[in-house]
C-alpha cells in the first residue's frame, strides 16, 4: 500500500474508562504484527480514572520507512471521538480538515454532530457505540476499532479481529466472542457522510494545552492546580451506556448507595419517612455520575437498578446536587493532568 504522507496518523480523543488507550495499542500492534507495517503508538492520560482526559496516537508507515517522531498528531488522517460530549473547551476537532475521517460515538444525526462539534470539513462516520457495545456484550473501544478499520480503507477486518483475539483471548477468553461481534458491528454501522469546507465553521490549528502554572512559576508547597473529580467536573462522557435508575417508592433510606458511591452523587435531605423525621434519599445527580453501578450492586431493596442511558430520559429524575448553586460556576471539560507512556512497534527490529 502507498500512503500519501510518510506516515498514516490516527488520533483518539476520549475520557478515562472507555478504553481508548487499549484501542490505540491494539491498532499499533495490528499494523506491526499482522500487516507488515512499521507502527508506533503512545498515549497521554492522567491517573487512569474515569472522567480524566485521554489521548492516544497511532502512526503507520510502510516497511522500510522508519517512524522517527514521537510527538502528538496534529493533522490526523483518522480522528476518533469516543463521546460527542467531548466537544467543549478542549479543541478535539483541531487539525481535522477535508482529508480527515472523523469517527464519533453518538446516536445523534450527522447534521447535529457537525454543529455540536463545529466540524470544518471531513468525512464523518457516526456510530452508536454505546448501544452496539451493550447489544454485543462488549465495550465501546471494540466498536470504535471496527469503525476505524472501515474508515481507514486498508486495515483488514480479519487482521484486526485476529489481533484482538490474540491480545485479549489469553487473559479474557470468555470475552472474545463479544469483542469480535462488537468490532464487526462497528465496521458494518460506520457509514460515511461527507462534509465540505463551506465556511460554516473555521479550520482549527492543533496546539498542545498548556497549564498556567508549571515548574518555574508554581507556588511553593507543590499546590496542584489541576482538578480531579471535583464538583466542577462533568463526568457524563465517561459512562459506557448504563446508568442507575432510582425508584423512590422502594427506597428505605439506608444510605448504602451514598456510602459506596465514589463521587457522592446521591442527594439526601431532611424529610419524613414512615411518620418520622429522617434523611430522605432524593436520588442521583447524573452530572457527576460516571456509571460505575456500585449503587445497583449494594442496594438491598432493588430501589436502584441498571438502565440503558439511551433509553431513559435523565431530565425527568436528575435532581442536580442540592448543595451547589450551579449557575455560579461552569463545569470543567477536562480532569486531571496527563503524563505520557510510549510504546513503539517496528517491523525491522522484530525480524
Strand 339-345 versus strand 38-45 pairing type: antiparallel
Q: Read off the pLDDT of residues 64-115 as tens digits, 9 standing for 90 and up.
A: 888 988 889 999 999 999 988 777 656 789 999 999 999 999 999 999 999 9
Domains and CATH numbers, the chain: 8-211+336-350 (3.40.920.10), 236-328 (3.30.70.3270)
pLDDT confidence tier of residue 291, bands split at 50, 70 and 90? confident
What pLDDT sits at residue 346?
42
What pLDDT sits at residue 236?
78
Q: Examine the pLDDT at 227 and tell me if it is beyond 70.
A: no
pLDDT confidence tier of residue 348, bands split at 50, 70 and 90? very low
Q: Read off the pLDDT of residues 138-196 as tens digits, 9 standing for 90 and up.
A: 999 999 999 999 999 999 999 999 999 998 888 888 889 999 999 999 999 999 999 99
Q: Read off the pLDDT of residues 41-72 as tens digits, 9 standing for 90 and up.
A: 999 876 555 666 788 999 999 988 889 888 89
Look up residue 59 and give its three cell numbers.
502512526
What pLDDT sits at residue 222?
62
What pLDDT sits at residue 266?
93
Is 0.85 surpassed by the pTM of this model?
Answer: no
Q: Which among 146-155, 260-269, 341-350 has the top mean pLDDT? A: 146-155
Amino acid at each position: 500500500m502507498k500512503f500519501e504522507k510518510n506516515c498514516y496518523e490516527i488520533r483518539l480523543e476520549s475520557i478515562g474508562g472507555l478504553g481508548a488507550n487499549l484501542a490505540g495499542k491494539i491498532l499499533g500492534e495490528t499494523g506491526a504484527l499482522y500487516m507488515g507495517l512499521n507502527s508506533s503508538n503512545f498515549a497521554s492520560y492522567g491517573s487512569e480514572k474515569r472522567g480524566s482526559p485521554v489521548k492516544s496516537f497511532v502512526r503507520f508507515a510502510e516497511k522500510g520507512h522508519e517512524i522517527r517522531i514521537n510527538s502528538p498528531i496534529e493533522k490526523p488522517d483518522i480522528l476518533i471521538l469516543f463521546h460527542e460530549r467531548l466537544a467543549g473547551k478542549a479543541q478535539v476537532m483541531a487539525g481535522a480538515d477535508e482529508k480527515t475521517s472523523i469517527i464519533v460515538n453518538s446516536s445523534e444525526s450527522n447534521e447535529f454532530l457537525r454543529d455540536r462539534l463545529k466540524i470544518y470539513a471531513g468525512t464523518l462516520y457516526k456510530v452508536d457505540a454505546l448501544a452496539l457495545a451493550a447489544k454485543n456484550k462488549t465495550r465501546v473501544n471494540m466498536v470504535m476499532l471496527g469503525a476505524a478499520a472501515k474508515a481507514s480503507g486498508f486495515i483488514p477486518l480479519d487482521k484486526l479481529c485476529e489481533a484482538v483475539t490474540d491480545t485479549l483471548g489469553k487473559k479474557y477468553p470468555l470475552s472474545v466472542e463479544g469483542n469480535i461481534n462488537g468490532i464487526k458491528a462497528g465496521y458494518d454501522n460506520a457509514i460515511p457522510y461527507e462534509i465540505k469546507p463551506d465556511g460554516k465553521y473555521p479550520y482549527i490549528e492543533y496546539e498542545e494545552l498548556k497549564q498556567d502554572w508549571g515548574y518555574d512559576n508554581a507556588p511553593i508547597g507543590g499546590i496542584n492546580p489541576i482538578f480531579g473529580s471535583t464538583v466542577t467536573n462533568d463526568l457524563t462522557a465517561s459512562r459506557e451506556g448504563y446508568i442507575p435508575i432510582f425508584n423512590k417508592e422502594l427506597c428505605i433510606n439506608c444510605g448504602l448507595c451514598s456510602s459506596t458511591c465514589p463521587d457522592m452523587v446521591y442527594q439526601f435531605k431532611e424529610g419524613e419517612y414512615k411518620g418520622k423525621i429522617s434523611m430522605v434519599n432524593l436520588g442521583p445527580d447524573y452530572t457527576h455520575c460516571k456509571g460505575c453501578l456500585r449503587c445497583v450492586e449494594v442496594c438491598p431493596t432493588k430501589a436502584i437498578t441498571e438502565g440503558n442511558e439511551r433509553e431513559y430520559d435523565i431530565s425527568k429524575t436528575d435532581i442536580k446536587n442540592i448543595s451547589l448553586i450551579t449557575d455560579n460556576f461552569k463545569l470543567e471539560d477536562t480532569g486531571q493532568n496527563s503524563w505520557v507512556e510510549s510504546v513503539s512497534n517496528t517491523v525491522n527490529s522484530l525480524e
